[in-house]
Structure 1
Amino acid sequence: MSTLIIIFKVIIALGILNVWLLRFNKKTEWRGGGAGSMNEEFEKYGLPVWFVPVIGFLKLLFATLLVISIFKPGYNLDLIGSIGMGVLMIGAIGMHIKVNDELKRSLPAFLMLVMSAIIAFA
């Protein structure tokens, strides 16, 4: 496994863990619609409240699969994790567009999408 692919997997996983566990209720410059928390961000996107735990679970699941795939290659965990994460990042970019966010707010999702695509096709 190439070092770059491992680095991308770790970056994605740490990014997701940071946003969904450490900064869940904190305002950041990247939050959609200028929201102050994850729940408020989803509200600004016009998504139902039950989407928050579902999307959070999926993002944490796919990030975990990417990390596990570093230590247990050969089970397609990297493919599942990267494709799943890529689909979620496309959705995230779409939500930023929906609320007319400046492009800068979509940058983390775009970079994770690119890294996920590289992992999937490596």
Structure 2
Amino acid sequence: MEIFIKVLQAIVGLSILNVWLVQYNKPTRWRGGDAKTILEEFKVYGLPAWFCYVVGTLKVILALLLLAAIWYPELKLAAASGLALLLAGSISMHFRINDPIIKSFPASLFLAMCLIIIFYG
């Protein structure tokens, strides 16, 4: 189980970093509404641009901590819990604007992985 949890940590951490550091200005099928970038997505949700930067910074920091927790397990609970909270917020934003449920699939999947890390890791 320990290896499985570490694999989940790597998947979640690297995926969050990919979204916020590589894919942030690229259109994906998962963006809220008809947004093409993360900043546009926050606008669709009715959130200010500064909030995008706050959320992005927190997600990147927590993703890095989750990866570091592979070697420093004492970081795991805080990192996974923080990401779970932010991912739940992402899901709620999709529901708020009546997005098709498929658009919240990645956030839901990563939330489930974080919950496994929290409760079984």
Aligned to 1:7: 7
**RMSD across aligned C-alpha pairs, in angstroms?**
0.9
Provide the secondary structure at the position in 1 that maps to 2:30. Answer: coil
Aligned to 1:85: 83
Name the amino acid aligned to 1:81: A
Q: TM-score, normalised by structure 1?
A: 0.95
Q: TM-score, normalised by structure 2?
A: 0.96
Name the amino acid aligned to 2:18: N
Find the partner of 2:106 among 92, 95, 108.
108
Give the superposition deviation at 1:7.
1.0
Give the superposition deviation at 1:3.
1.3
**Residues 33-52 of structure 1: matches in 2 within 5 Å?**
33-52=33-52
In 2: Cα distance, 1:103 partner to 1:3 partner: 31
In 2: Cα distance, 1:45 partner to 1:72 partner: 36
In 2: Cα distance, 1:66 partner to 1:103 partner: 27
1:71 paired to 2:78: no
Give the superposition deviation at 1:34.
2.1
Count of residue pairs brought into register by the alignment: 120
In 1: Cα distance, 2:72 partner to 2:41 partner: 35
Give the superposition deviation at 1:107.
0.4
Aligned to 1:99: 97
In 2: Cα distance, 1:34 partner to 1:78 partner: 34
In 2: Cα distance, 1:66 partner to 1:49 partner: 26
Partner deviation per Cα, 1:71-101 (whole Å, 9 max, x = no partner): 122x2x1000110000001100000001111
Give the superposition deviation at 1:54.
0.3
In 1: Cα distance, 2:47 partner to 2:4 partner: 35
Matched residues, percent identical?
46
In 2: Cα distance, 1:15 partner to 1:34 partner: 22
